[in-house]
Amino acid sequence: MLGALEEYEKTRVAWAMPFYELTCQMATFAPPPPEMAAICAALQGNQTDTNAFFGLISEAVSPTDFFAPANVDRILKRNTVQ
């Protein structure tokens, strides 16, 4: 039984830590770093990715997935094409 609880704890922490780190970063109220400012600018007029960004707040979208390099590149490139 202990093995199952330990595995559950590892899985829970792995899932929750990116949300915790994002919350701590946002709670500083510091100006966003240039990378985040670029993402926010690229979200303008991009409803699908804006929805995903707000999904970070409700924990419907994982920060690990949203901020994955391939996803960030796609969002930024979409903005430069328009």
Which tens digits make up the pLDDT trace of 26-59? Answer: 899 999 999 999 999 999 999 999 999 999 989 9
- Residue 40 CA to residue 44 CA, distance in Å, equals 7
Q: What are phi and psi of 11, to 5 degrees?
A: -65, -45
Instruction: Report yes or no: 25 and 67 within 8 Å, Cβ to Cβ.
Output: no
Identify the domain containing residue 64 by its residue range.
2-81
Residue 15 has pLDDT above 90, yes or no: yes
Confidence of residue 2 (pLDDT cuts 50, 70, 90): confident
Confidence of residue 78 (pLDDT cuts 50, 70, 90): confident
Residue-by-residue DSSP string for 20-77: HHHHHHHHT-PPPPHHHHHHHHHHTT-HHHHHHHHHHHTTSS-HHHHT-HHHHHHHHH
Q: What is the pTM of this model?
A: 0.80
Query: What total of structural domains would you count in the chain?
Result: 1
Average pLDDT of the segment spanning 15-30: 93
